[in-house]
Chains A and B, each alone.
Chain A
Amino acid sequence: MLALTGIKVHYGAQQVLYGVDVTVGRGELLAVLGANGCGKSTLLRAAAGLQPMTAGEVLVGGEPAGRLDIAVIFQHIHLVRRRSVLDNVCAGALGRLPLHKSLVPALFPAEVKEEAMACLDRVGLADRAHDKAGSLSGGQQQRVAVARALCQRPKVLLADEPVSALDPAASEQVLALLAELAHDEDMAVLAVLHQPALASRHADRVVGMRDGQVALDGAPDQPVDHLYSPINPLSVETVS
């Protein structure tokens, strides 16, 4: 479903991604692991169109990704805390609504609100629709962010460290929800994670990154310690 091919990214003169190839199948939750600075979040931002690429392609279903094909869930959640949960979820539909039907929340068509309610129900928060987003716990806010992403009707879901700010129980819930969405809704879900244990429990496949390149790609229960070790085994192999 999602194919990232030959992705290269530079920050000024510094190259951070060296032609990365990653695919995520329909109905699959792929976890991307790696140490800080290895380029995994840059890869996700490039896939989402939030980071200009030097080279490479982002394909969804074999075609160049459309504006609304990919939805993103952010580490810092990024809800408008003063607005209601429902208004925040409806905002996921902004990309397909004309301005006269979306200038203020009161103008959102009834069908968009009903769809947003269904998305909220999907993440188990339909009863909190009229609460202020800021009044929810961190885990609940992240689930609202997932509902907002669903309201975009995407084919691919990208999650950038979605559980970094959450406690272990909320992290399990959010990861389980992402896995459910991948399996039940037949979506391709790519989640950048810092917790190999969570990845092994919930992901269908794991990609490990190191120094801007893919260092492993396979089953979620394989050892990943070398991704976080200070000496790069790839470099050692090359030298030896």
Chain B
Amino acid sequence: MTVLQQEVRKLTVPPKPRQPKRKIISLVITAVVVAAHVFAWNTTGMSVTAFAEGWQGMVDFIGEAFPPNLSWEVLKPSLEGARTTLWIGLLGTTLSVPASLVLALLATRGMAPGYVYQSARSVLSFLRAVPEIVFALVFVTAVGLGPFPGVLALVCHNVGVMGKLWAESIEDVDPGPATALRSAGAGRIQVASHALLPMVTPQMTGLLMYRFDVNVRSSLVLGLVGAGGIGFLINQSIRTFKFDEMLTHIIVVLVLIIAVDRLSALVRARLS
């Protein structure tokens, strides 16, 4: 008799232990989530009928944009605007690195005294909570229209986001080498520079590239409120009802975003 022909031994699966408390908690969570969605739907004025009725207006708007105006008179400023948008995104990312690094280290559990840790976390939360567009409006009133306030706005918001992401990456790193250096008498800054940061550099670089990608897209929106770049041109063409020019700018933006996204993905893939 082969092994396969032998009678297979079977055992009855025991019933799962009853967990009535867990079931009630699941039901309550489901009810809360559903209620929140119903409330959100009503509060935001969501309406399928309004969307269906307004469909024609949207089609007309898009129809007027076709074909895009690809003349050099439109394309040239569009490419220059895209270049400015790219530079805003680049500077908004790189100039935020020093402050992000310092705040990330201070906001890492165990790296600084409790009150410093809490203060750093609060600063990061504040910078993250204020949208770039609000920072841009503030800086436009301070330094005038143009790319400069856009860069400042991106730096402020990006410090908040990147500081938090970096702090969490540092907290997730294997604590072993840091313990080894502490036992060898190294101070906190030495532990950070010789154990924590070298270990977390790939993750931090990957997050930096991701933020560059996001910031280029954000700088486009900032252009709408006067912070320069191609967003400013899109805003102008809508205001002057030149929808074919608007579509040209949007196509240029699309190419820019795809290029940055590919670059970011490539770098992150190499790092991982």
Contacts and interface: CB of A to CB of B under 8 A. Distances in A.
Given A49-B183, A80-B198, A82-B198, A94 B190 contact: yes
Nearest to B201: A82
A72 B180 contact: yes
B185 A68 contact: yes
Contacts of A39: none
Interface string B182-196: 011111011001110
Contact of B190 (A79, A83, A102): A102
Contact of B194 (A49, A67, A80): A80
Interface of A is mostly: loop
B187 A78 contact: no
Contact of A95 (B176, B177, B185): B185
Contacts of B201: 82
B184 A78 contact: no
Contacts of B185: 67-68, 94-96, 152
B177 A82 contact: no
B184 A148 contact: yes
Contact of B184 (A83, A91, A105): A91
A71 B185 CA distance: 9
B74 interface: no
Contacts of A27: none
A78 B194 CA distance: 12
Contacts of B94: none
Interface residues of B, number: 18
Contacts of A105: 194
Contacts of A149: 184
A78 B198 contact: no
A118 B93 CA distance: 43
Given A80-B198, A82-B198, A94 B181 contact: yes
Nearest to A99: B189
B236 interface: no
B205 interface: no
Interface in A143-163: 145, 148-149, 152
A78 B177 contact: yes
Interface in A84-103: 87, 91-92, 94-97, 99, 102-103
B25 to A, nearest CB: 29
A50 interface: yes
B165 interface: no
Contacts of A71: 183-184
B199 interface: yes
Contacts of B186: 91, 94-95
A18 interface: no
B122 interface: no
A33 interface: no
A228 interface: no
| Residue of B179, B184, B187, B190 with most partner-chain A CB within 10 A | B184
A104 interface: yes
A175 interface: no
Contacts of A152: 184-185
Interface of B: 176-177, 179-181, 183-187, 189-190, 193-195, 198-199, 201
19 contacts: A70-B183, A71-B184, A78-B176, A78-B177, A80-B199, A87-B194, A92-B184, A94-B184, A94-B185, A94-B186, A95-B185, A96-B185, A97-B190, A99-B189, A103-B190, A103-B193, A104-B193, A145-B180, A148-B184
Given A70-B183, A80-B198, A91-B194, 16 more contacts: A50-B183, A67-B185, A74-B180, A78-B179, A79-B180, A82-B199, A91-B186, A94-B186, A95-B184, A99-B187, A99-B190, A103-B190, A103-B193, A148-B180, A148-B184, A149-B184
